[in-house]
Structure 1
Amino acid sequence: MTASADPAGRTCGTLAGVNEAERQALELAVELAARGAGTVLPNPVVGCVLLSPSGQIVGRGWHQRAGGPHAEVVALADAGDAARGATAVVTLEPCNHTGRTGPCSQALIAAGVAKVIVAVRDPWPAAAGGVDVLRAAGVEVHEVGDTDSPAEDVNRVWLTATRKRRAFVTFKAGMTIDARVAAADGTSRWITSPESRADVHRLRGEVDTMMVGVGTVLADDPLLTVRDADGELVGRQPLRVVIDSPGRTPSDARVRNDDAETLIATAAEFGHGRRVDVGAVLSELYRRGRRHVLLEGGPRLATSMLDAGLVDEVVVYIAPLLLGAGRSLLDGSAVDTLTAAHRAELVAVDRFGPDVRLRYTVRG
């Protein structure tokens, strides 16, 4: 990657009631939280920084894996006795829930933390309430309350999935400058650069589910696995989901091999008439503990999901190519006038070799 930018200006900026040391600590907590992407699902990414009364960092931590210690507990252990009287800056409300770990709200109280700055309230009812418990114990609590904050963005997958009770969907595609994903003869390997393809496998490694339509399976016979530059499997493999209303996925399709678990979603199981109800699939994935779907094709499935309000963000890799003909990024939309267009906000711009990667949040 040779360049990176955040056109949305997602820094913590000037926050009411937060001093400069606390603002910088919140930015660091967001960076720490991001380190848990891909390893904490189905849990949230969380970062925590502890500041001494003079504003010095005395502890830091992040949630590293599902079932492991939470960010606050890691930061408290890092700080030791210096946690007493400190300020804890946390990207997500400290949990008030006993699961595989104890409640972080109680851990902060027991450590003698004097103040807690909370960037985002926890929307999961079972774990919420940490702010109230802290205040009842005499701990000063300041809520940032910025719905467009970096803390919201870094944890967008878990927050959105929890609020909507369905898996978060990232639509990913590689395309030419004129939005073609394949040439007129059907060839599509390779539109994007090796650098972009390596980043796609990094992204695959951060999700717990990958999804395609049966048309993509029939046309490309993809593996839908996380691999290194030599084609070897790397790390935990996401669940592979094929949206296949009539059940046309061949028995010898590579997506059916033993490299990863696969779900063939047919109308018989997830039916809405003769078609798969993709919303029902996403809800079922959530019920099964899946939180992040990487939608990789094809154009008709992506379009139908976009029209149904089931796409949360779009990541596109744009190669410096022009075709003028061939398969488009989207196909078959119900949108027939400009005023009905789906709106998106550009969140990040990155460069990979000769390609540009754009990340958009879909607003409606």
Structure 2
Amino acid sequence: MTDADWIRRAIDLARQGAGLASPGALAGAVIVNNGRVAGEGFYTYDGVHHAEILALHEAGPAARGSTVYTSLEPCAHTGRTPPCAQALIDAGVARVVSAIQDPNPLVDGRGLTMLKQAGIDVQCGILQDEARRANEAFITYITRKRPFGVLKLAMTFDGKIATRLGESQWITSEESRRAGHHLRHEVDAVVTGSGTFLKDKPQMTDRTGRPRRRELLRVVLDRRGRVGRPPGWLVFRGSLEELAAELYGREIQSILLECGPDLAFNAIRSGVVDKIVAFVAPKLLGGRETPAIGGPGAERLSEAVRLSDWTAATAGPDLVITAYVHGHH
């Protein structure tokens, strides 16, 4: 196997921490000696130990002279645990390959420097785009001081979220709805508007059955005071920017917006949306009502919100398009 293959394994391990690592980073580590896995691990917040330490514990004496592959640069500071870089040095590893540097200002290249100064062969930058994508929430949370925002859309081929009489359940397939629950599992909070809340009475819970360290925070944005105080929900009556600041203060690393067309438009315009995931059913409804994105709209093409780095997949009969809001990614 190549370095890229082992780094991909480390990234796959890191992703196993989804729902368990926030407000920390997703991190995975693989220790390889003589072409065979000697130890591996991934980080969970409640587990305290970092991925490298778990891999070292599993490898034991086989760590000496090995190559360590990490999805994220080993830390160089003492936080809840001693620095991982020093643990790798003490274990006698020969080489460390990391996908990306840790954007945390407490690390930011210092771990790699510590390893180099100890005479360890260090390489960084393999599959860095894939590694950044895996940690996009953590990177945004650390560098922009706000939660990473995902806007989820479920619509017909012609961009409608309901019929002209308001019927919307269900536009997309069971497979798409299942994928939507996996999106909820990967975030710390789900946000909707008062209109959607009052009309649909959504549960908006994580029904994947997978473990998570914190209960999904459910937020309804209610600037007009229409909702009251429903149990199990955080009712917020400020702006979207104020909500982002409030959730950042609560160590909410990522949010999923499942909302109506006007709130979707305002969320994009306010800058709290980084990624859009659109589930598109092969159906046509027609009409002028119920667009997926509402608001006043743009007057000129130059005012269009530009999306980048789009990918397409399928969920049952539906198309799933993922794109990033230009300038935020």
Q: Provide the residue aligned with 1:58 in structure 2.
A: 38
Shift of 1:238: 0.9
- For residues 105-139 of structure 1, what are the alpha-carbon distances to aligned partners after superposition, in whole Å with 9 as ceiling and x for unaligned? 11111111122112211111234421222222222
1:131 aligns to 2:112 (yes or no) = yes
Matching residue's letter, 1:240: R
- Counterpart CA distance in 1 for 2:270 and 2:126 is 29
State the TM-score, normalizing by the size of structure 1. 0.83
- Counterpart CA distance in 2 for 1:360 and 1:333 is 22
Q: Provide the residue aligned with 2:237 in structure 1.
A: 266
3-state SS of paired residue (1:110): helix
- Counterpart CA distance in 2 for 1:234 and 1:71 is 18
State the TM-score, normalizing by the size of structure 2. 0.91
1:227 aligns to 2:207 (yes or no) = yes
1:246 aligns to 2:247 (yes or no) = no
Matching residue's letter, 1:27: R
Matching residue's letter, 1:340: E
Q: Provide the residue aligned with 1:336 in structure 2.
A: 299
Q: Provide the residue aligned with 2:140 in structure 1.
A: 160
3-state SS of paired residue (1:182): coil
1:316 aligns to 2:297 (yes or no) = no
- Counterpart CA distance in 1 for 2:99 and 2:296 is 37
- For residues 82-126 of structure 1, what are the alpha-carbon distances to aligned partners after superposition, in whole Å with 9 as ceiling and x for unaligned? 111112111111112323332211111111112211221111123
1:361 aligns to 2:327 (yes or no) = no
Which 10-residue stretch deviates more, 132-141 or 167-176? 132-141
Equivalent residues of 1:22, 1:55 under 8 A apart: no
- Counterpart CA distance in 1 for 2:158 and 2:15 is 33
Pick the aligned partner of 2:22 from 36, 41, 46: 41
Equivalent residues of 1:161, 1:167 under 8 A apart: yes
Q: Kindly tell me: are residues 333 and 71 of structure 1, through their superposed partners in 2, closer, same or farther at Cα, counting changes over 3 Å?
A: farther
Q: Provide the residue aligned with 1:279 in structure 2.
A: 241
Q: Provide the residue aligned with 2:263 in structure 1.
A: 301
Pick the aligned partner of 1:292 from 254, 257, 274: 254
Equivalent residues of 1:345, 1:361 under 8 A apart: yes
Q: Provide the residue aligned with 1:327 in structure 2.
A: 290
Unaligned runs of 5+ in 2: none
Pick the aligned partner of 2:192 from 204, 212, 217: 212
Shift of 1:65: 4.0
Percent sequence identity over aligned pairs: 39
Q: Kindly tell me: are residues 87 and 234 of structure 1, through their superposed partners in 2, closer, same or farther at Cα, counting changes over 3 Å?
A: closer
Q: Provide the residue aligned with 1:270 in structure 2.
A: none
Unaligned runs of 5+ in 1: 1-19, 268-275
- Counterpart CA distance in 2 for 1:94 and 1:335 is 45
Pick the aligned partner of 1:113 from 83, 87, 93: 93
- Counterpart CA distance in 2 for 1:183 and 1:122 is 47
Q: Provide the residue aligned with 1:27 in structure 2.
A: 8
Q: Provide the residue aligned with 1:11 in structure 2.
A: none
Q: Provide the residue aligned with 1:187 in structure 2.
A: 167
Equivalent residues of 1:21, 1:55 under 8 A apart: no
Which 10-residue stretch deviates more, 161-170 or 24-33? 24-33
- Counterpart CA distance in 1 for 2:194 and 2:182 is 24
- Counterpart CA distance in 1 for 2:143 and 2:187 is 18
